[in-house]
Amino acid sequence: MAATNTDVAASAVDDRVLSTAQQIVKSLNTPKEVREDMLLILSSFDNRLSSISSLINSDDSKTKNDRLDAAEKVILRWDPNFDVSRRSLNWEDSPDEAAEYLSAVDDIVRLVEDLSIGSESTEFVDRAENAIQMAMCRLESEFRHILIQSAVPLDAERLYGSIRRVHLSFASNYSEIDDEFENFGEDSRSSGRFHERGGTIGEDSWVDLIHPDAAVDLSEIADRMIRSGYEKECVQVYSTVRRDALDECLAILGVERLSIEEVQKSDWKFLDEKMKKWIQAVKVTVRVILVGEKRLCDQIFNGANESKEICFNETAKGCVMQLLNFGEAVAIGKRSPEKLFRILDMYDALAGVLPDLEAMVSDEFLISEAHEVLSGLGEAATGTFAEFEKAIESENSKKAMQNAEIHPLIRYVMNYVRLLVDYSKTMNSLLEDEERSVNDNDDDLQLESTSPLAHRLLMLLSSLESNLVDKSKLYEDVGMQFIFLMNNILYIVKKVKDCELAQLLGSNWLRRHSGQIRQYETSYLRASWSKVLCCLKDEGIGGSTSNAASKTALKEKFKNFNAGFEEICRVQTSWKVSDAQLRDELIISVSEKVIPAYRSFLGRFRNQLESGRHSGKYIKYTPDDLENSLSDLFEGSPAVSHHLRRKGT
């Protein structure tokens, strides 16, 4: 009897030891492999613990089934195959439902993670895997639904409002440079031939692409899908939805999908608008939209670096390639001078955002494409400039400008060149590797400090001046040729002085061309007034003015002078010198030549003619009359009778 009591007591002790050990192992809530290792260690200390493994495994099986039943119940509740009324989890209004569902998914994921080969029945494994599959289908649907419903439309107006305008600059909308340049004048600004040269994105420019609260829910879903081995599906859904969203952003920014053929067939007005929108869209896309997309990927796929990278690359690729395709179409299109400044704006825009793009995108193909398009735009810019140079060199219109005014070609070229100076940094970078043929005899071109663009502009202006000389020969009147040259060279010099061209071309160029204007002035005086002034010389009058022959010669001289002077004033009053200072200087130069000579001649011979009959027929003007008449020269108005005011009137 005592032995029996001892056995019962020992059995009770063993049961308490086993129960305590079992409770300790279960309370640690460690993975199955770790628990088995702990049991082996414990049984090595006390053989009574060798049976604990079977007890715990039996209990685990019961617990696992209970957990699977509970989780499966929640998952089935939201499976439309079981309940068609359950369309979508209400993440915003019923967060408890969403939390319950995610908790059920977590439970099944842990159950699956704890499974070991052969440790569970086939039925249990199949049930767990089916539950996971149903849960992932639901979460994939929820992921897509939230991505679509919580997307924030791009507010382009607010974004563009934050873009700081830089300046207005000239850009022609004229398609043919050799059509006598009729449409290019000083009123270019009012006719819309100025464009906004880009702009910069403010540092405070940012956008929410997804409602912030939704990003948290998306992150929770992505975490479960990735842990369950559905990373590929998660990435695919994200990339597809967000790629469409970014395409919509481009549409809002005014960027259309245009084929290369459509771009090349577009008229300039249409293409110019598309290029302007592209320039802004490139800046907004990279510095605002893609930055926001990168931030969104970081939020949703936090901790899943590979998924994060794949998602961003795949999402960004679509919109970036659409932008690059348009850039490529422009780069390989027909080269015409009016496109140059837009192409340079496109080049600068892409070059400016490329470092940011490289920092975000790891897709080598995409970055390579961006560099190729940038290179293509650079080649298009230099090629277009070369076409412009050729057009100026070969321009040979034969229509003389009325009144010897400034030729539209000169206005156009100088406005074009002045704007080009704004792009000096870009143009110098693009031109520096090109071969340049430099005339060793031209001092201006020998300056070591002259930049590549300055070299090209010097050659361009030299070609323009040669063209001017040819056009001056369209005028039969030699004096008019020099007025035409003075007008146009002075216009060029003033345009150079008014901008950074002066620094590019150098002080020697300015001095030489200012001196050239003075030479043309001297040539004009000689061509227009030499013959008239010859009438005021004493040659041919004879030694005595009292004889009839001398008086006849004297009358003839006054008569010829009057006729010559009147004809010059009649003709040259219609000539136009646009610059007021040059006009005043020319009139003063003419007056200094004519008035003193006439006053001296009149003083010497007036008495001989006034004593005779009809003296007023020969001595028609006083020096003041001549001076008054000369003051009307170069007004550009038709000559009228009152331009020559006779003495006494």
Type of residue at 313: N
Query: In the predicted model, what is the mean pLDDT of residues 489-505?
Result: 92
Answer with the residue of higher pLDDT: 28 or 493. Answer: 493
Q: Is residue 82 one of the residues assigned to a domain?
A: yes
pLDDT at 643: 42
State the Rg of the chain over Cα. Answer: 46
Q: Coil, strand or helix: which one is 129?
A: helix
pLDDT of 640 > 60? The answer is no
pLDDT at 36: 57
Q: Determine the Cα angle at 430 with ends 428 and 434, to 5°.
A: 95
pLDDT at 56: 47
Q: Are residues 351 and 415 in the same domain?
A: no
Q: From CA 208, how far away is CA 296, in angstroms rounded?
A: 9
How far, in Å, are 171, 344, 490, 553 from residue 414 at the CA level? 12, 18, 12, 53
Q: Is residue 209 one of the residues assigned to a domain?
A: no
Structure tokens at 364: 């080598």
Partner residues linked to 200 by β-bridges: 164
Token pair 């640690």: residue: 28
- The band of 319, judged by pLDDT with boundaries at 50, 70 and 90, is very high
Burial of 253 (0-12, 13-18, 19+ CB in 10 A): buried
How far, in Å, are 222, 353, 366, 560, 570 from residue 356 at the CA level? 27, 5, 13, 80, 68
Q: Report the predicted TM-score, pTM, of the whole model to 2 decimal places.
A: 0.78
Task: Give kind and range of the element (H or E) at residue 168.
Answer: strand 168-170
Residue 75 backbone dihedrals phi, psi, to 5 degrees: -65, -40
Q: Is residue 641 one of the residues assigned to a domain?
A: no
DSSP 445: G
pLDDT at 608: 78
- The band of 169, judged by pLDDT with boundaries at 50, 70 and 90, is very low
Q: What digits encode the pLDDT tens for the residues 187-209?
A: 443 333 444 555 555 545 667 88
Task: Give kind and range of the element (H or E) at residue 195.
Answer: strand 194-196
Contact 303, 238 (CB under 8 A): no
CA quadruple 237, 241, 242, 243: dihedral positive or negative? positive
Q: Is residue 282 one of the residues assigned to a domain?
A: yes
Q: Are residues 302 and 373 in the same domain?
A: yes
pLDDT at 16: 59
* HSE toward the beta carbon, residue 331, CA cutoff 13 A: 19
Contact 403, 576 (CB under 8 A): yes
How far, in Å, are 158, 198, 234, 334, 531 from residue 276 at the CA level? 18, 8, 37, 18, 59
Residue in 151, 308, 293 with CA at minimum distance from that of residue 214: 151
Query: In the predicted model, what is the mean pLDDT of residues 361-390?
Result: 96
pLDDT at 236: 95
Domain of residue 380: give its range: 232-394
Q: Coil, strand or helix: which one is 194?
A: strand
pLDDT of 402 > 70? The answer is yes
Q: Are residues 382 and 350 in the same domain?
A: yes
Structure tokens at 259: 């084929």
Phi-psi category of residue 229: left, alpha or beta, with phi > 0 → left and psi -120 to 50 → alpha? left
Whole-number percent of the chain with pLDDT over 70: 72
Q: Is residue 579 one of the residues assigned to a domain?
A: yes
Contact 590, 529 (CB under 8 A): yes
- Cβ-based neighbour number of residue 80 at 10 Å: 13
Token pair 């079992």: residue: 22
Q: What digits encode the pLDDT tens for the residues 199-251?
A: 555 545 667 888 888 999 999 999 999 998 999 999 999 999 999 999 999 99
CA dihedral 349, 352, 357, 359 (to 10 degrees): 180
* HSE toward the beta carbon, residue 461, CA cutoff 13 A: 28
Q: Is residue 182 one of the residues assigned to a domain?
A: no
Q: Are strands 164-165 and 199-200 parallel, antiparallel or unpaired?
A: antiparallel
Contact 175, 420 (CB under 8 A): no
Q: Is residue 460 one of the residues assigned to a domain?
A: yes
Tally the domains of the chain: 3
- Across 149-163, 367-381, 442-456, least confident range: 442-456
Last residue of a domain, one of 132, 150, 168: 150
Burial code (b: 16+ CB inside 10 Å, e: under 16) for 226-242 equals: bbbebbebbbebbbebb
Q: Are residues 302 and 418 in the same domain?
A: no
Type of residue at 179: D
Q: Which residues contact 563 (CB under 8 A, 6 or more apart)?
A: none
Q: Are residues 493 and 628 in the same domain?
A: yes
Q: Are residues 420 and 329 in the same domain?
A: no
Residue in 243, 326, 340, 318 with CA at minimum distance from that of residue 278: 326
Q: Are residues 385 and 476 in the same domain?
A: no
Query: In the predicted model, what is the mean pLDDT of residues 643-647?
Result: 47
Contact 28, 56 (CB under 8 A): no
CATH code assigned at 494: 1.20.1280.170
Last residue of a domain, one of 150, 176, 201: 150
pLDDT at 189: 38
Q: Are residues 348 and 286 in the same domain?
A: yes
Please tell me the total number of residues recorded for the chain in this structure.
649
Query: In the predicted model, what is the mean pLDDT of residues 65-92?
Result: 67
pLDDT at 271: 95
Q: From CA 489, how far away is CA 413, in angstroms rounded?
A: 13
Q: What digits encode the pLDDT tens for the residues 584-598?
A: 999 999 999 999 999
pLDDT of 370 > 80? The answer is yes
pLDDT at 180: 40
Q: What digits encode the pLDDT tens for the residues 18-70?
A: 556 555 655 555 555 555 566 566 556 655 555 555 544 544 555 777 887 77
Q: Are residues 389 and 414 in the same domain?
A: no
Token pair 């020998």: residue: 446
Q: Are residues 431 and 348 in the same domain?
A: no
Q: Are residues 366 and 334 in the same domain?
A: yes
Contact 593, 533 (CB under 8 A): yes
Residue in 278, 285, 422, 272 with CA at minimum distance from that of residue 353: 285
Q: Are residues 562 and 423 in the same domain?
A: yes
Q: Is residue 638 one of the residues assigned to a domain?
A: no
pLDDT at 632: 94
- Cβ-based neighbour number of residue 100 at 10 Å: 16
pLDDT of 305 > 50? The answer is yes
Residue in 557, 540, 567 with CA at minimum distance from that of residue 606: 557
Type of residue at 641: S
pLDDT of 378 > 90? The answer is yes
Burial code (b: 16+ CB inside 10 Å, e: under 16) for 156-190 equals: beebeebbeeeeebbbbebeebeeebebbeeebee
pLDDT at 541: 74
